[in-house]
Amino acid sequence: MAVISGDGVFSHTCLGASDLAASVSFYDAALAPLGVKNMGPFGESVVLYGKDKPALLILTPGNGEAPSSNGVTVGFAAATTADVDAFHAAGLAAGGTDEGAPGARGHLPGAYAAYLRDPAGNKICSYTFTDGN
């Protein structure tokens, strides 16, 4: 199986927050080990995250309703298994909840991942791929 990299097909991803400050604290901590940084606010209800350009927006929903993401998972690439471990530990320490401890995943050769729920209940994960041995 080939792992595809490059520009991809998405321009950005938005995740709703019921408490923007709590979500920002969570994402600042969980994404730092992956090299994803808080790029600052965009207006009063949006915070931008990315490496070189904004790619993830954490926001309070514009329609005033509660955020809802049942069935949605956003995955973040990690360079190493240690980065996945650090993502998970930092996310838990910053108010996230465990949705799958760091470890090998049997569905793809060499897959290593960890899953979290952010303070608003959004499901995120971080993946890396080892040599499969």
DSSP for 7-55, written as a single string: S-S-S-EEEE-SSHHHHHHHHHHHHGGGT-EEEEESSSSEEEEESSSEE
The average pLDDT across 29-41 equals 97
| 5-34 average pLDDT score | 88
Model's pTM, two decimal places? 0.84
Q: Cα 44 vs. chain centroid, distance in angstroms?
A: 22
Domain 13-60+72-129 listed as CATH 3.10.180.10: yes
Does the pLDDT value for residue 1 go beyond 80? no
Domain boundaries, the chain: 13-60+72-129
At 76, the pLDDT band (50, 70, 90 cuts) reads very high
pLDDT of residue 91: 98
Report pLDDT for 18: 92
In this prediction, residue 3 carries a pLDDT of 45
* pLDDT, averaged across the chain: 90
106-123 confidence digits (pLDDT tens): 888 899 999 999 999 999
